[in-house]
Amino acid sequence: MKTATTSITQTAGKFLLSLLTLLALANVAAAAEMSADEKEIRALFQTVTDGYRQRDPDAAMSPYMKDDRLVLFDIPPPRKVTGYAGSLRSTKDYMASTEGPLVAEYSDVHVKADKKYAYAHSLMRLAGTFKGGKKFEFLIRVSDGLEKINGKWLIVHEHSSLPVDLRTNTAVLDAPATGASGDYELGPK
């Protein structure tokens, strides 16, 4: 009887070990797939950076959905731009208002993706010179919604923002990258 019990226990143990190994391999495969999606999405952001560096609005906008479903809440007016044509025009206008090198570099990028949808949030350093010689440099917050269409990730929604000093109702261009609102004076001066 002891031999039969030992044999059953060993068989059950082997089965359980095999099952756990299969589950672990499935998780590794799923993680590798998500990793590929994240890499593809991060490459989209690099395409945007390269487009700005090259002062090429079409290249900078190439990762965005090319129809009227695209929605951007951008830093310059208007508050909301709907559709690819309007978004491209806004990008062209921004680039035309500057001279010399442009910087649009992403940092602190976080991506979460499933098979069809993804979201990302990041910081973006914008720097350059407006026509007339006034230099600018600031850090904005960017949140993106992405959709995988025909096997390719595209940005379908983007919201860019700057923190606001609630006492003066003005944008804070030199805000620290992290912290809590309690770290700053929010009331009247």
Q: What is the pLDDT of residue 87?
A: 96
Residue 112 to residue 109: CA distance in whole angstroms: 10
Q: What is the pLDDT of residue 8?
A: 58
Mean pLDDT, residues 128-154:
96
Mean pLDDT, residues 34-38:
81
Residue 153 to residue 135: CA distance in whole angstroms: 34
Task: Dig out the tokens for 13 from the structure.
Answer: 């143990």
Mean pLDDT, residues 116-137:
96
Task: Dig out the tokens for 39 from the structure.
Answer: 């890499």
135-142: long-range contacts, CB 8 A cutoff, minimum separation 24:
137/103, 137/173, 138/162, 138/171, 138/173, 138/174, 139/173, 139/174, 139/175, 139/177, 140/75, 142/106
Cis peptide before 78 (omega within 30 of 0): yes
Q: In terms of Cα–Cα distance, which of 158, 160, 159, 156 is closest to 66? A: 156
Task: Dig out the tokens for 149 from the structure.
Answer: 């269409």
More confident residue, 107 or 25: 107
| Beta strands 170-171; 164-165: pairing state | antiparallel
pLDDT in tens, 58-79: 999 999 999 999 999 998 888 8
